[in-house]
Amino acid sequence: MENRSFDHMLGGLKALNPDIDGLNGDESNPDTTGAKVTVSSDADYQGQLNDDPGHHYPDVDLQIFNGDTSPARTPNMQGFVRAYFQKTGKVPSSRDIMKYFAPGQLPVLTTLAQRYAVFTRWFSSIPGPTLCNRAFAHFGTSFGHTDMSVNYVGKPIPSIYQRMQAAGHTAKLYYYNQSSSTLGLTFLLKNQPELFGLFKQFQQDCEMGRLPQYSFLEPNYKDGDDLANDQHPDNDVRAGDNFIGTVYNLIRQSPKWENTALLIVYDEHGGLYDHVSPPNLPPDHVDGNTDSQTGFQFDRLGVRVPAVLVSPWVEAGTVVKDRIFEHASIPATVTNFFIDPNYATRTQREAKAETFLDLLSRDTARPDAFHFGLGDAAHALTGMRRETIPMTQPGPGNPDRPISTLLYEHIHHIHQVEMTLPPEHQTGIDIAKIQTVAQAGEYIDKVTALLHPVAAAGGAQ
């Protein structure tokens, strides 16, 4: 999922379970007038973050250190409102960055967090944007990038999918639709169509009990036939919560439920407030990369993000609070479990990352069962009524709204890839004229069709 901080999504759970390191309600940031802005549980599903909060390295640096650039600085998480003011230019709207969701607003995510395992120390890998953070989930490193570069072709560290294949295992990337396939996956587009599938195939594979040993599922990044459900500001958060619920239902109803663990995690915090300072990494976790643009040495983590582990082998109500996880924990866990705990062709960072399969600690699978459905409280079955957590459904999307920073940067990077194609195979679209979500979607669709005809036709079998 995209661009939401832990406190923004799950911080309200502390009121229900003090073990969950969320919000007390008195956390605050100063605004640009010096006034204190306290967190408040009145986040809106859509419309409150029309200006995409900054989440590139300089933005995140400001959010974490509040402008302190001294060598001895320490994170204080006091620069979020100030950073958002740089985007909105308005003091009142800059304060919206402190808003968070009450648990009842996100019934699926908060229910799963309370009934399975929630991580309260899962951090994005880099204090930066989407793609470099996603690279850690795929490779265990971003190869020194802190930006939105899409060029991960021919790197010395194999992706987790390549590792699985080489070891005789199965792995697949399911993207929601055609245009979802380009986000962070350009390194795979041309060469490995066998690793791709569409969400519809994911549904079928769940129902038939034939999911590969490792699956990575991409949400929908733009309004189209279906609403964008990635939860990136300012896409409707309800659509994303429903998407998580749909995925959970599919896995819960799969004949392979007892052989499956589902990790729900967000790539980065998206510029939204979180009160926990990201930690520095121990020296033996650092690979020695230095980003030439920012000087960042990959020796500390990004802002905390929501992460929930769902499995019948997890004890209900587990709160993982004393161990630090980040996105390199994903390939580390998969590689250790399926391939070899001593697998060599990976970064020091990944090799030292925490893994989470030990949380599947039960001797027997949990017998309890629940799923998500549509209705109202009166329709919930007797005996479950008290557990009903209603949430309104998302309204119609608006593809005519301006593109987010994510889409803006993404189409520019996709354009770079397009320019590597022969002129006769290029779209000829002037990306400077792309203004709306619909136009961006059309452009991405066209480039994807050119890059990867198999994906355009519906995915590999």
Partner 1 sequence: MKRRAAVGVLGTLLAGVPAFGDSEASRLADSCGQFKILPCATTLFTDHPFHIAVGSLSPGNGFAAGPALTFAHHTVPHHIPGPGGDTITHWRFGWDIDGVASSNRSWRAGLYLTARYTREKPTVVLPGAGTPGAASDLRQMSTVITGYVQTESLNQLSYYGIGQNTSRSNLAYFGMTQTIAGSHADVPLWTPINLRLFGEANARIIHLRSGVPGTVPSIEQIYTPATAPGLGDHKSYGQFAQGLSMTPDFGRLGLNYQVAFKEYAGSSATFTRMSFDLNHEFLLYGKSVPEPPRSFNGPDACARTETNLSCPPVTSSRNLKGSIGVRLLLMESFVPSGNTVPIYFMPTLGGADINGDTYLASYADYRFRAPNLMLFRVSFEHAVGNLPLGMIFTYDQGKVAATRDQLGFDHLAHSFSAGLTLRAGGLPVLSIMFAVGGNEGSHVISQVSPSLLGGGSRPSLY
The residue ranges that bind partner 1 (CB under 8 A) are 104, 107-108, 111, 178, 198, 201, 203-204, 207, 223-226, 241-243, 245-246, 249-250, 252-255, 257, 369-381, 383-384, 387-400, 438, 442, 445-446, 449, 453, 456-459, 461
Supply the minimum distance, in Å, between the C-beta of residue 338 and partner 1: 26
Q: CA quadruple 460, 202, 230, 393: dihedral positive or negative?
A: positive
Q: Cβ closer to partner 1: 201 or 336?
A: 201
Rank residues 25 and 193 by Cβ distance to partner 1 and give the closer one. Answer: 193
Q: How near is the Cβ of 171 to partner 1 at its closest, in Å? A: 19
> Closest CB to partner 1 among 173 and 391?
391
How far is the C-alpha of 52 from the C-alpha of 233, rounded, in Å?
Answer: 6
Strand (E) or helix (H) holding 132:
helix 130-139
Interacting residues of 318 by C-beta distance below 8 A, sequence separation 6+: 116, 117, 118, 309, 359
Q: CB–CB of 265/305 below 8 Å?
A: yes
Nearer to partner 1, 18 or 104 (CB): 104
Residue with tokens 């300089």: 58
Select 21 or 223, whichever has its Cβ closest to partner 1.
223
- Residue closer to partner 1 by CB (options 53, 107) is 107
**Closest CB to partner 1 among residues 26, 376:** 376
How many C-alpha atoms does 328 have within 13 Å on its Cβ side? 25
C-alpha pair distances (Å), 209 with each of 203, 253, 312: 10, 10, 16
Question: CB 278 → partner 1: shortest distance, Å?
Answer: 32
Minimum CB separation from partner 1 for residue 177, in Å? 9
Name the minimum Å distance from CB 119 to partner 1: 22
Of 127 and 245, CB closest to partner 1: 245
Smallest distance from the beta carbon of 263 to partner 1, in angstroms? 19
Q: Strand 171-175 to strand 307-310: parallel, antiparallel, or no bridges (unpaired)?
A: unpaired
CB of 159 to partner 1, least distance (A): 24
In total, the chain counts a number of residues equal to 461
* Structure tokens belonging to residue 369: 């069962």
For the bound state, the minimum distance from the C-beta of residue 378 to partner 1, rounded and expressed in Å, comes to 8
Nearer to partner 1, 157 or 437 (CB): 437
Burial class of residue 319 in the structure, from the number of CB atoms within 10 Å of its CB (0-12 exposed, 13-18 middle, 19+ buried): middle
**Pick 27 or 442: Cβ nearer partner 1:** 442
Strand partners, 29: 37
Alpha helical stretches, state H, 279-347: 329-334
Non-local (6+) Cβ contacts of 8 within 8 A are 43, 99, 100, 101, 269, 272, 273, 274
CB of 143 to partner 1, least distance (A): 32
Q: Give the tokens for residue 239.
A: 């659509």
We find the least distance from the C-beta atom of residue 296 to partner 1, in angstroms, to be 39
Q: Which is nearer to partner 1, 326 or 445 (CB)?
A: 445
For residue 36, which of 90, 84, 8, 78 has the smallest C-alpha distance? 78
User: Which of 316/381 has CB closer to partner 1?
Assistant: 381
Residue 225: exposed, middle, or buried by beta-carbon count in 10 A (0-12, 13-18, 19+)? exposed
Q: Compute the least distance from the CB of residue 459 to partner 1, in Å.
A: 6
Burial zone of 364 (CB within 10 Å; 0-12 exposed, 13-18 middle, 19+ buried): exposed
| Residue 345 to residue 130: CA distance in whole angstroms | 24
Residue 214 C-beta-side C-alpha neighbours within 13 Å:
25
Q: Please give the full DSSP string across 174-187, using - where no structure is assigned.
A: EESSGGGGGTTTHH
CB of 311 to partner 1, least distance (A): 14
Amino acid at 40: S
The CA distance from 410 to 109, in Å, is 27
